[in-house]
Amino acid sequence: MNDVIFDRVALIGLGLIAGSMSLAMRRAGVAREITGYARSQATRDTAREIGLVDRVCDSAAAAAEGADLVVLAVPVGAMGAVAAEIAPVLKPGAVVTDVGSVKRSVLEAVLPQIPEGVQFVGSHPMAGTEHSGPRSGFAELFDNRWCLIVPPEQADEGEVRRLEAFWAALGATTERMDPDHHDIVCAVVSHVPHLIAYTMVGVADDLRRVTDQEVIKFSAAGFRDFTRIAASDPTMWRDVFLTNKDAALEILGRFTEELFALQRAIRTGDGDTLHDYFTRTRAIRRGII
């Protein structure tokens, strides 16, 4: 058990990430009371039923009032509106963080709403599954995963450290990152791979119309492994691409160039190019644990 790091924690949004945070906070004993709010009545009912947090509230403001840490765990496109809703009730000395998968746009949407005397520091736990909703969380989600910490320029060093200690207690390893660097890194390692997985499922389904044959039914292990992430929440991923447009387009452009080069090698029967490419990338992939 750890010491209490934030007396009262409010979770706005009660899905995979917030739910896992609540369970991990209880496991670590780092909060005395956890309140929560989600927009949908059905989610709030489920959260109450399974006791996901100590107190489910009927508004974001009611959950955030008096909290020492407020976590914005809603889709990235909703962060600004939620921050505006809770701003009037934030207590002086409180810390607000978000867990969004994109950082520059969240910083720009949330920071202007934060009142004086309250600190905003971004977080991005690099952990997830293809599941969503209040029943999908589990206490181990953040164990041995990175949590990227994105402090605004004027952030208070003591509060940034407190947030880092909080994530460490939840099992994560933290590293600080600048928002623009964060967004390009995540475009490569997470956002564009999701887009490609979604596309691959679309292509396989499309083929059914051409061949009049079920294709996905016969999907092999490779296809299943590769496309698992295409079962992820559509609202979350719509918002990621709308808010990380530049970085996603930059990485997609590079990806298409590589794909065209391989397409040309296949067309011209250039086995050396294919073999060299696969040898190089296999070595890199094998180095990733």
Q: Coil, strand, or helix at residue 182?
A: helix
Should residue 17 be labelled a site residue for ligand NAD when binding is judged by CB under 6 A?
yes
Q: How many other CB atoms are there within 10 angstroms of residue 228's CB atom?
A: 12
Residue owning tokens 């990235």: 76
The correct pick among 23, 82, 107, 148 for binding ligand NAD (CB under 6 A) is: 82
Residue 88 CA to residue 86 CA, distance in Å, equals 6
**Segment interacting with ligand NAD (CB under 6 A) among 2-10, 36-44, 62-70, 249-257:** 36-44
Residue 163 is a binding residue for ligand NAD (CB under 6 A):
no
Nearer to ligand NAD, 31 or 53 (CB): 53
Q: How many residues bind ligand NAD (CB under 6 A)?
A: 27
Does 73 help bind ligand NAD (rule: CB under 6 A)? yes
Contact set for ligand NAD, span 188-247 (CB under 6 A): 233, 236
133 is an interface residue for ligand NAD by CB under 6 A: yes
Q: Where are the alpha helices (DSSP H) in the chain?
A: 16-28, 41-50, 60-64, 79-86, 104-110, 157-169, 179-186, 192-211, 221-227, 234-243, 245-267, 271-286
Measuring CA to CA, how many Å separate 266 from each of 52, 260, 278, 280? 52, 10, 13, 17
> 190 vs 182, 183, 203, 213, 237, CA distance in Å?
11, 10, 20, 32, 11
Cα distance from N-terminal residue to C-terminal residue, the chain: 29
Q: Which of 35, 43, 113, 119 touches ligand NAD by CB under 6 A?
A: 43
- Applying CB under 6 A, does 75 fall inside the site for ligand NAD? yes
User: x/- binding map, residues 92-131, to ligand NAD, per CB under 6 A?
Assistant: -------xxx-----------------------x--x---
Which residues here bind ligand NAD, judged by CB under 6 A? 12-18, 38-40, 43, 60, 73-76, 78, 82, 99-101, 125, 128, 132-133, 233, 236
